[in-house]
A = this chain, B = another copy of it.
Amino acid sequence: MKREDGLLTKRFDKLLIANRGEIAMRILRACHELGIKTVAVYSDADRNAPHVRYADEAYHIGAPPARESYLVIEKILDIAKRSGAEAIHPGYGFLAERAVFAQACVDNDIVFVGPPARAIDIMGDKQEARQTVKAAGVPIVPGTEPGLNDEEMIAAAAEIGFPVLVKAVAGGGGKGMRPVHRAEDLPDAIAGARREALSAFGDDVVYLEKMITEARHIEIQLLADAHGNAVYLGERECSLQRRHQKLIEEAPSFVVDEDLRQRMGAVAVAAAKAVNYVNAGTIEFLVDKDKNFYFLEMNTRLQVEHPVTELVTGIDIAQEMLRVARGRKLRFSQEDIQIKGWAIECRINAEDPYNNYLPSTGTITTMRLPTGPGVRVDTGVFPGYEITPYYDSMISKLICYGETRGEAVLRMRRALEEYRIMGVKTNIPFHQIMVESHRFLTGQFDTSFVETRFSMEEGEGESHDLEAAIFAALAAHRQGQQASQIVARGARDTSNWKWYSRWERLRK
């Protein structure tokens, strides 16, 4: 089936994964379980990565920088043709939300495992997305159209009410954005945002949006087939973020009751239908303290945090994406979907929480995964693997499930304690302190919590200075003993090999 809006569905038996890391592994596993043959692509940095070794076939696509490998549409399509792959799964990031790529797949008679190109296009343009979903009855954050002049915006701001955000149409990553709390600061803020947007993006068009304070980031997972059916799989709470990067997600949300869930779900389905959406997608909302919710954006792809929804619904979203792309009808209706238990995900990043969260590179020397009841790990790295600066710093996801939120939290605590990654610094200590914190346990947090009210010092409560001192003294002592043995060795008449193996034994 091929639609006008760039949707092609048909049965396929071989699929190319245009991605790497844990999400490539996730998709490979789903294919494996459905009996679909797999094709991996890899840059020079990834020859030994798990996704290459786990796939049935693997093709080299270029140098480590993504723009020379994972982002090069022609190379990906070329390999799909050479390998006979009939479908491509883009994962997240890289080409996942590039309408031109989705269309190029279809033009080459390759199934794109995702929505039609037209839906990606609309949802990728902030203003068009806002207008489209607003027309479908979806509440959006009050604000102005873009392109007003300064006087018009100043007038509009009075109507919207302060605080407001000045935002650049072309903006992203906080650039060209200004929070304004008082009317008298608005003219300067508009001018500043325009200047910044012009220099960063070559476009000085800005607009106003009401600033939602104490907001939570809550999103609705959707699944839609090519036959007009769409369901929501409940919500995810993703308020714990730092610099717009989510760090901990959970399902369900502490603040969403069944009534709110149904209302948000219905609105999310309406938004998806407004763009003839097909396959998995997510509508992100801001929810204020009075439980008003506002459309933020739609992610037209599989999300990093999809596992928490899988655990509480029992639905394998990665497998369902493949079924939908093959043209199958959804196997369940809205009434079949039950939320059972509680799931929490911690994103494990190669970064140093004790040093301003600086990314950490290096070779993983040891990785001991937590296991046992209620623990799932999605990872795409292994001991011996080198964390390079080329790709994003998320190296693993730790997901815990329990009958209740309390049980899930307790399992997360013990799983974090069991997890050992050495060779690079990770943010595991951040998660450990967070899941012990009173705020997290009582669900009292919003999107600004991590940046404004959380500190690694929170862990100071129970300090084990004495024990740390003993560890260090004993390690220093042992090191000193070894050093003196190394110095003494010159005098000995043993072969180096013998000596080396003795030293190895000593170290053990």
Contact = CB atoms under 8 A, between A and B. Distances in A.
Interface of A: 25-26, 29, 32-35, 54, 307, 310, 314, 316, 318, 340-341, 366, 368-369, 371-379, 382-384, 403, 407, 410-411, 413-414, 417-418, 496, 500, 508
Contact of A376 (B372, B413, B508): B372
A500 B501 CA distance: 12
A86 to B, nearest CB: 21
Contacts of A316: 373-374, 403
**Interface centre among A29, A366, A411, A508, by most B CB within 10 Å?**
A29
Contacts of A341: 314
Closest CB pairs A-B (n = 4):
A371-B377, A32-B414, A33-B410, A496-B496
B373 A414 contact: no
**Interface centre among A310, A316, A371, by most B CB within 10 Å?**
A371
A199 B73 CA distance: 78
Contacts of A508: 384
B29 A414 contact: yes
Nearest to A382: B368
**Interface centre among A25, A340, A366, A377, by most B CB within 10 Å?**
A377
B33 A307 contact: no
12 contacts: A25-B372, A32-B410, A33-B414, A54-B418, A310-B373, A314-B403, A316-B373, A316-B374, A368-B382, A371-B376, A372-B376, A500-B500
A58 B33 CA distance: 42
Contacts of A410: 32-35
B371 A411 contact: no
A316 B403 CA distance: 9
B371 A369 contact: yes
A382 B500 CA distance: 24
B378 A376 contact: no
A33 B403 contact: no
B379 A371 contact: yes
A340 B314 CA distance: 10
A371 B500 CA distance: 36
Contacts of A54: 418
A369 B26 CA distance: 15
Contacts of A374: 316
Contacts of A418: 54
A379 B418 CA distance: 12
B382 A378 contact: no
A316 to B, nearest CB: 6
A235 B340 CA distance: 23
Contacts of A33: 407, 410-411, 414
Contacts of A496: 496, 500
Given A314-B340, A496-B500, 16 more contacts: A25-B372, A26-B372, A29-B373, A32-B413, A33-B411, A33-B414, A34-B410, A307-B373, A310-B373, A314-B341, A314-B403, A366-B383, A371-B378, A371-B379, A373-B378, A375-B376
Nearest to A318: B373
A251 to B, nearest CB: 15
A404 to B, nearest CB: 11
A29 B341 CA distance: 19
A35 B314 CA distance: 28
A156 B49 CA distance: 67
A372 B369 CA distance: 12
A496 B366 CA distance: 26
Contacts of A377: 371-372
Nearest to A411: B33
